[in-house]
Amino acid sequence: MKAPRNKRLMGKRNPRRNRQKFGGFFLFLLVGVFLLFVFRFSYIVVSGRINDENLTEKANALYESSTVLRAKRGTIYDANGSPIAEDSTTYSIYAVLNKNYIGVNKKKLYVTDKAKVAQVLSKYLPLTQAAILKRLNPANTKTFQVEFGSAGQGLSLAIKQAIEKANLSGIYFTETPSRLYPNGIFASHQIGLAQTKTSTTNNVAAQNLTGTMGLEKTLNSTLTGTNGIKEVKKDSYGYQLPNTKTKKKAAKNGKNVYLTLDTRLQTYLESLLTTTQTKYDPVEMNAVLMNPKTGQIVAAAQRPTFNPSTGSGLGSFWRDTLVGDAYEPGSVMKAFTLAAAINSNKYSPNTTYQSGSISIGGTTVHDWNNSGWGTLPLSKAFPYSSNVGFVHIEQTMGKTTWLNYIKKFHFLNTTNSLLAGELKGSIQFEHTSDQAVTSFGQGINVTVMQMMQGFSAIANDGKEMQPQIVSKVVDPTTGKTTKYKPHQVGTPITKSTADQVLKAMQDVTYKSYGTGQSYQIPGYKIATKTGTAQISSANGGGYLTGSNNYIFSVVGMAPANDPKYVLYITMKQPQKMTESATQILAGVFDPMMKRALDYDAGTVATATQTKMPSVSGKSVTAATAALKKKNLQVVQVGTGNTVVQQMPLAAEVVLDDQRALLLTNGAMTMPDLTGWSKSDVLKLAELTGKKITIKGTGYVTKQSLAAKGLLNSATKITVTLSKP
Name, in order, each residue with C-beta under 8 angstroms of 166's C-beta and a sequence gap of 6 or more.
116, 120
Helices 334-343 & 399-408 angle (0-180, nearest 10): 110
Report which secondary-structure segment, H or E, holds 93. Answer: strand 83-96
State the angle between helix axes of 263-280 and 581-601 in degrees (0 to 180), rounded to the nearest 10. Answer: 170
Catalytic status, residue 199:
no
Strand partners, 521: 524
Contact 561, 525 (CB under 8 A): yes
What gap in Å lies between CA 200 and CA 36, rounded to an integer?
39
Cα separation, 407 vs 423, whole angstroms: 15
Among the options 188, 331, 386, 433, which is catalytic?
331
Q: What share of the chain is helix, strand, coil (3-state, %, to 5)?
A: 35, 30, 40
Strands 550-558 and 527-534: antiparallel
Whole-angstrom distance, CA of residue 268 vs CA of residue 270: 5
The answer to whether the beta carbons of residues 367 and 357 sit under 8 Å apart is: yes
The Cα–Cα gap between 168 and 594 comes to 57
Closest CA to 553 of 579, 576, 537, 530: 530
d(CA 667, CA 638): 5
* Cβ-contact 227, 71 below 8 angstroms: yes
In the three-class reduction of DSSP (H, G, I as helix; E, B as strand; rest coil), residue 482 is classed as strand
d(CA 631, CA 657) in angstroms, rounded, equals: 6
> What 3-state class would DSSP assign to 457?
helix
Beta partners for 65? 232
Alpha helices (runs of H) in 558-619, residue ranges in sequence order: 581-601
Determine the Cα–Cα distance for residues 401 and 1; give it in Å rounded to an integer. 127
Our CA dihedral for 704, 706, 711, 717, rounded to 10 degrees, sits at 10
Pairing between strand 633-637 and 659-664? parallel
Question: Per DSSP, which regions of 192-295 are E strands?
Answer: 193-201, 204-213, 228-233, 247-249, 256-259, 282-291
> Residues near 174 by Cβ (< 8 Å), separated by ≥ 6?
91, 92, 94
Please tell me what DSSP assigns to residue 362: T
> Cα–Cα distance between 343 and 363 in angstroms, integer?
28
Measure the N-to-C terminal CA separation of the chain; round to a whole number of Å.
135
Q: Which long-range contacts (CB under 8 A, 24 or more apart) does 495-499 make?
A: 495/461, 495/462, 497/339, 497/342, 497/343, 497/462, 498/339, 498/457, 498/458, 498/459, 498/460, 498/461, 498/462, 499/461
Count Cα atoms within 13 angstroms, Cβ side, for 635.
25
Q: For 361-410, where are the E strands, in sequence order?
A: 363-366, 375-377
Q: Which residues of 34-68 are buried (b: 16+ CB within 10 A; e: fewer)?
A: eeeeeeeeeeeeeeeeeeeeeeeeeeeeeeeeeeb
Which contiguous run of DSSP H or E holds residue 395? helix 387-397
Cα distances from 358 to residues 370, 386, 389, 534, in angstroms, run 11, 11, 9, 18
Instruction: Say which residues have a Cβ less than 8 Å from residue 517's Cβ, sequence separation at least 6.
Output: 509, 510
Q: Which residues are catalytic?
A: 331
